[in-house]
Amino acid sequence: MKAGKRMVSGNASSILSALLVFLVFNCTAQISPGELTRAHAQLEGMLNCTKCHTLGDKVSNEKCLDCHKEIKSRIDQKKGYHASSEVKGKDCFSCHSDHHGRAFEIVRFDEDKFNHDLTGFKLTGAHTKPDCAACHKAERIESADLKKKESTYLGIKPDCITCHKDVHKNTLSTDCKSCHNADKFRPATLFDHAKTDFPLKGKHKDAACSRCHEITFENSAMFQKWAGVPFNSCVVCHEDVHKGQFGTNCKECHNEDSFNPVLGNSTFNHNDTDFPLLGRHRQLDCSKCHKTGEQTSAGQVFQDYKGKDFKACITCHKDVHETKFGPDCRKCHSEESFQKRMSPETFDHTLTGYALEGKHIVVDCKKCHTTPKMTDALTHNRCADCHTDFHKGQFITETKKPDCKDCHTVDGFQGSNYTVEMHNKGNFPLEGAHLATPCLACHQKNTEWTFKDMGRQCIDCHKDIHEGYINEKYYPQKACNQCHVEEAWTSVKFEHTLTGFTLQGKHDKISCTDCHKPDPVQTEPKKVAFTGLKQDCTTCHDNIHDRQFDVEGVTDCKRCHKFEAWKPSAFDHNTARFVLDGAHKDVACAKCHTAEIVEGKQVVKYRLEKFECATCHSD
């Protein structure tokens, strides 16, 4: 008998040793599927796995970007290739997988097929011809950290002067694209002189550029001056043959087609001046505004308004509004007549001190200006000066009288700019699921909105479905937060030890409703009984032993079983009336404890009354 036991023990040791050897080699093979590429070689080794991998999950994009900060920065700014629609939403490892060996190219880049448009810098014209390396040079990278990289396409600004020499020597804008296209620098096909402060007219169109824009040499390099050329007066370029007699504004009498002929008073086009004649001004004789008498010297003819703001009507006309609406009468009146007012839509309401915005723009003037004179003063400091308080004073307190604009905008009363942050400064901060709850779910339960005296307890809004089903001591004053959290009703944090029945083993892992069954008679919502449950094992579990182990009418399963699992049993046969000795120790339980049919069901007989040898063994 003893020799047999030693033989079994020896075999078991051999099997166990073999199993350990198998597990060690097998686990080692499973830890790394292969060597990392040369760029990641410093991450080799078991202790570095979690720098890229998340235990129990795939490789994390966040961990990749923790190292590749230059890529993360571009993605955060929604710039560059990695923020494009082609890459966005992908896992890093879908393009840059690893563990394929030191020589594996983790960045496989086909320069010929790469769509440069996805970087945010579309290649056009001459940019499509050069090799990538012609632009992507280390000396053009601004970041010192990026310059250290062996190979990178990052860090180069898309400004023209990053690659091209500024031949204008910082005298013009560095936005070369405003004048030049990507095909070639000369000629500057996009430049339009008409959009400058000096549009070319008449003979100026035929003049060579160099007549006005001087060509010089600086540091042995040709430089043509395009900016800073004075043009405020004709005499800057042209000789004043009148020696200043008629000022420097030659256009008063001449045009750009020719100095000759001179425009006479009868044919003079006043529209060439800064004051075109419109309306009633056309009918006036020149002498009504200009001094043309013999006593006027030649140098003063038609120079009456030199230095005056003749665009302001009040230079000639009396301001009957006493400067209330500014000096530009044309905002409301036309040059046809002062009595004829312009369309109200053209009036600049900002001059009144109350700018029209949002829905106020489309309101009929008479809705606010109810008096005969539009210039009569209106009270307009608060919204309530015109609008009825829809909330009927709910927000008014002894110390505060808020206005509509605190929550609404002039674009409409529908919607509100009352933020969660503002709500959280009140007496009911929004947390959990309340953050996602629409305002009307709490504040418009009926037809009217309510914001005052709503209560702050859970039962003020939520129905207590546990009433009568849970002892009030577990949630005093029906405080739902004793068991529930605001994130979701299904998240429960009840301390079960308070009931006198501590959850252990399997009990701590099952759902509440596995023991606390919903009332089958109730309609929705189903009510669950949390009171009145006995703590006996057989209240929930079938007594498969048919009361064999009852003590005073109760079967205490814990005497033999543990909370983790029914099997293996904690029963110690040596504490029973029949201690197992010798060969009895190796006999299967079923050899002695056989099944019987009791009241129509099969029950294993564990409680034996006779222990004589003859009960089990034949003579």
- pLDDT the model gives residue 294: 55
Structural domain harbouring 435: 379-453
From residue 267, give the alpha-carbon distance in Å to each of 251, 253, 270, 293.
13, 10, 9, 19
**Residues 520, 541 within the same domain:** no
Mean pLDDT lowest among 147-161, 329-343, 368-382? 329-343
The answer to whether residues 618 and 572 belong to one domain is yes
Residues 6+ apart with CB under 8 A from 50: none
The pLDDT assigned to 29 comes to 45
Give backbone dihedrals phi and psi of 176, rounded to 5 degrees, phi first.
-60, -30
Q: Give backbone dihedrals phi and psi of 488, rounded to 5 degrees, phi first.
A: -165, 150
Q: DSSP for 328-385?
A: -GGGTEETTEEEEEPPGGGS-GGGGT----GGGGGS-HHHH--SS-TTS----SSGGG
155-173: pLDDT as tens digits:
999 999 999 988 898 999 8
Same domain for 568 and 513, yes or no, is no
pLDDT of residue 1: 39
What is the pLDDT at residue 10?
Answer: 46
Pairwise pLDDT comparison (302 vs 405), residue with the higher score: 405
Question: What pLDDT shows up at residue 18?
Answer: 45
Per-residue pLDDT at 58 exceeds 50: yes
Contact indicator for 125, 182 with CB cutoff of 8 Å: yes
CA distance 381 to 403: 10
- 554 three-state secondary structure: strand
On the question of pLDDT at 305 being above 80, the answer is no
Establish if 15 belongs to a structural domain.
Answer: no
Averaged pLDDT for residues 276-282 = 86
Do 549 and 526 lie in a common domain? no
By the 10 Å C-beta count (0-12 exposed, 13-18 middle, 19+ buried), 37 is classed as buried
Render pLDDT for 321-351 as a digit per residue (tens, 0 to 9).
Answer: 777 777 778 777 888 887 666 677 777 888 7
- H-helix or E-strand containing 538? helix 537-540
Residue pLDDT, tens place only, 62-98 = 999 999 999 999 999 999 999 999 999 999 999 999 9
Same domain, yes or no: 462 and 521 = yes
Closest CA to 378 of 393, 363, 389: 363
Give the span between the Cα atoms of 336 and 313, in whole angstroms: 13
Quickly state the pLDDT bin for 526 (edges 50, 70, 90). Answer: confident
Q: What average pLDDT does the segment 133-142 reach? A: 90
pLDDT, tens digit, 9 for 90 and up, residues 478-505: 888 888 998 988 888 888 998 889 999 9
- Give the mean pLDDT of 446-474: 86
Is the pLDDT assigned to residue 12 strictly greater than 80? no
What was the pLDDT predicted at 296?
56
Instruction: List the structure tokens of 484.
Output: 């529930």
Alpha helices by DSSP H, listed for 152-304, are 209-212
Question: At 598, is the pLDDT very low, low, confident or very high (cuts 50, 70, 90)?
Answer: confident
**Residues of 443-455 as b/e, b for ≥16 C-beta within 10 angstroms?**
eeeeeeeeeeeee
Split at pLDDT 50, 70, 90, the class of 4 is very low
Q: 533, 553, 577 — which closes off a domain?
A: 533
Whether residue 61 sits in one domain with residue 111: yes
Same domain for 540 and 514: no
Q: What's the CA gap between 325 and 352, in Å, rounded?
A: 7
**Higher pLDDT pick, 33 / 265:** 33
The stretch 411-416 carries a mean pLDDT of 87
Nearest-5° Cα angle at 188, 187 to 192: 130
Mean pLDDT score, 5-28: 44
Domain count, the chain: 4
Per-residue pLDDT, 20: 43
Note whether 85 and 136 are same-domain residues.
Answer: yes
Share of the chain above pLDDT 90, in %: 23
On the question of pLDDT at 507 being above 90, the answer is yes
Burial class (CB in 10 A: 0-12, 13-18, 19+), 63: middle
385 and 437 in a single domain? The answer is yes
Mean residue pLDDT of the chain comes to 83
Q: Give the 3-state DSSP-derived string for 566-605, with helices as H, strands as E and coil as C.
A: CCCCCCCHHHCCCCCCHHHHHCCHHHHCCEEEECCEEEEC
Are 148 and 58 part of one and the same domain? yes
Q: What mean pLDDT do residues 307-324 have?
A: 80
Q: pTM of the entire structure?
A: 0.38
For residue 270, tell me if it sits in a domain: no
pLDDT band at 247 (very low <50, low <70, confident <90, very high): low
Confidence at 527, pLDDT banded by 50, 70, 90: confident
Query: Higher model confidence: residue 433 or residue 615?
Result: 433
Asked whether residue 131 is domain-assigned, the answer is yes
The confidence score (pLDDT) of residue 300 equals: 62
- Residue 215 placed within a domain: no
For the stretch 198-246, pLDDT in tens is 999 999 999 998 888 989 988 888 899 999 899 888 888 888 776 676 6
The tens digit of pLDDT for each residue in 546-588 reads: 888 888 888 899 889 999 998 888 888 988 889 999 999 999 9
Residue 368 within a domain: no
Percent of the chain with pLDDT over 70: 88
Same domain, 529 and 596: no
**CB-based contacts of 38, cutoff 8 Å, min separation 6:** 102, 103
Q: How confident is the model at residue 19 (pLDDT cuts 50, 70, 90)?
A: very low
Residue 592 maps to a domain:
yes
Q: Is the pLDDT of residue 384 over 80?
A: yes
**Residue 352 domain-assigned (yes or no):** no
**How far, in Å, are 225, 469, 511 from residue 494 at the CA level?**
82, 15, 12
Domain final residue pick, 504, 533, 562: 533
Q: Which of 158, 182, 209 is the last residue of a domain?
A: 158
Higher pLDDT, 208 or 274: 208
The pLDDT assigned to 2 comes to: 39
Same structural domain for residues 101 and 59?
Answer: yes
Q: Which residue has the higher pLDDT, 314 or 523?
A: 314
pLDDT over 70 at 262, yes or no: no
Q: What is the mean pLDDT of residues 181-196?
A: 91
Check residue 516 and give its pLDDT: 87
Query: What's the pLDDT at 24?
Result: 39
Q: CA-based Rg of the chain, rounded to a whole angstrom? A: 47
In a domain, 142, yes or no: yes
